[in-house]
Amino acid sequence: MKKASTVAVAFTLSVAAVAGGIGFTAGASQAEAEKKPRPVVQNTFDPLGPPMHSTEHAGRTVHYSDTGEKDATPVVFMGGTGTTARASGMTEFLRTTRQKLGLRLISVERNGFGDTEYDAKLGFDDYTADVRAVLDELGIRKAAVVAISGGGPYAAHFAADAPERISSLHLAAALPPYGEKADYCGKSDAELREYFGEQIRDPRSWWGFPADSPMHKIPGFTDTAEEDGGRSYYLRGQKGDPSAQVHEQKLYCERPGPDLSDFRAPVFVYTGTKDTTVPPATQARWKKAFAAAPTVRSYDDSGHDVQYRHWDQILLDMAGYADRAAVCTGRTTRVLPHEKAERALEKGATPGSCAWR
């Protein structure tokens, strides 16, 4: 009995020492706990990136991501060439702003990338049909559309084929399927396979941003971009097969582009004056494609990263605040009418969120 009591006392002291920390008593532990903020454990999970879904359409599996509340304003996100439906997650560095503006991002994956099987017979019309099918699956009648870089031609075809499904169109550093073809359009399939095969074998190089790009200010951005490159070309065991990439690049060579003269929804074009991938002169072709001149937002601080550097403005435009702009004054981000924003910039404010400083 005496030995057992000794063990019990030792165990009690040990528990008190652990619980009490510095004071080695339960009373001191309680006092220390009362000095700390009240602990909170969340009731729901935080997302680890855009969740993927699938639906069956026209005898094939269509993969898509869906990010945001179901009652939020829907936006169809069409990423750049060679991206997956999870590339919309590269804009989530402003997730809080997107959520507060009540926007929901939906991205339909293109032929041969990521989860989606490659079919050499599919073209722009098939992608338009896939987007329609996904919107129908989700019960969405109309959505804004934002296209980045190589998503531009797909957006143009969707706008021509399904104008009734688009509330507004946003073209960010987006390639227009009009005017002269790119130089590579004259190359053979074998030459294209060799060129793009070499490029996509190293997603870090394929998705690299210049050293002076503001993208490096976003924690984890370049890592996310590189990971999506790996997802595009390796997820299903493609092992860097360039077939889907070559097929998409050849689609970009198709002329004439779709007729958008009857498109009536608001159109916005976002251009970085330093863009050498889709230069301003190339993006200017969008102006001639529509009967009504689009709203053009040109930025001297951006190249082929304008879609991310000024994603805050794109969010505002998609949410119905096209008459306003975000500027950073001091340490505070303010959303002002454009005239007031211009005056603030003249006085030393900077465009967009203060996070860019």
Give residue 340's domain range. 323-357
Note the pLDDT tens digit of each residue in 167-193. 999 999 999 999 999 999 999 999 999
pLDDT score, position 36: 87
Three-class secondary structure of residue 344 per DSSP: helix
Q: Is residue 40 part of a domain?
A: no
Note the pLDDT tens digit of each residue in 83-131. 999 999 999 999 999 999 999 999 999 999 999 999 999 999 999 999 9
Q: Is residue 136 part of a domain?
A: yes
Query: How many domains in the chain?
Result: 3
Q: Is residue 357 part of a domain?
A: yes
Q: Give the bridge partners for 52, in sequence order.
A: 65
170 membership: H or E segment, kind and range? strand 166-172
CA distances from 173 to 29, 150, 234, 284 (A): 58, 9, 26, 10
- Asked if pLDDT for residue 158 goes beyond 90, the answer is yes
Domain match, 116 and 57 both = yes
Q: Is residue 245 part of a domain?
A: yes
pLDDT score, position 28: 60
Domain match, 260 and 223 both = yes
Domain match, 227 and 297 both = yes
Q: How far is residue 299's CA from residue 133's CA, in Å, rounded to a whole number?
A: 36
Domain match, 16 and 91 both = no
- Asked if pLDDT for residue 24 goes beyond 60, the answer is no
Domain match, 13 and 104 both = no
Domain match, 23 and 100 both = no
- Asked if pLDDT for residue 73 goes beyond 80, the answer is yes
Q: Is residue 45 part of a domain?
A: no
pLDDT score, position 31: 76
Q: Is residue 65 part of a domain?
A: yes
Q: How far is residue 268's CA from residue 149's CA, in Å, rounded to a whole number?
A: 14
What's the token pair of residue 232?
């595009």
Q: Is residue 119 part of a domain?
A: yes
CATH of residue 131's domain is 3.40.50.1820
The residues, ordered by sequence, that sit 6+ positions from 48 with a Cβ below 8 Å of its Cβ are none
Q: Give the bridge partners for 169, in sequence order.
A: 145, 267
Domain match, 120 and 10 both = no
Average pLDDT over residues 197-214: 86
Give the E-state strand segments of 6-124 in sequence order: 52-57, 60-67, 73-78, 103-108
Domain match, 318 and 338 both = no
pLDDT score, position 165: 98
pLDDT score, position 201: 87
Domain match, 16 and 81 both = no
Q: How confident is the model at residue 22 (pLDDT cuts 50, 70, 90)?
A: very low
Q: How far is residue 281's CA from residue 310's CA, in Å, rounded to a whole number?
A: 20
Q: Is residue 42 part of a domain?
A: no
Domain match, 74 and 180 both = yes
More confident residue, 212 or 207: 212
Domain match, 317 and 274 both = yes
Domain match, 297 and 339 both = no
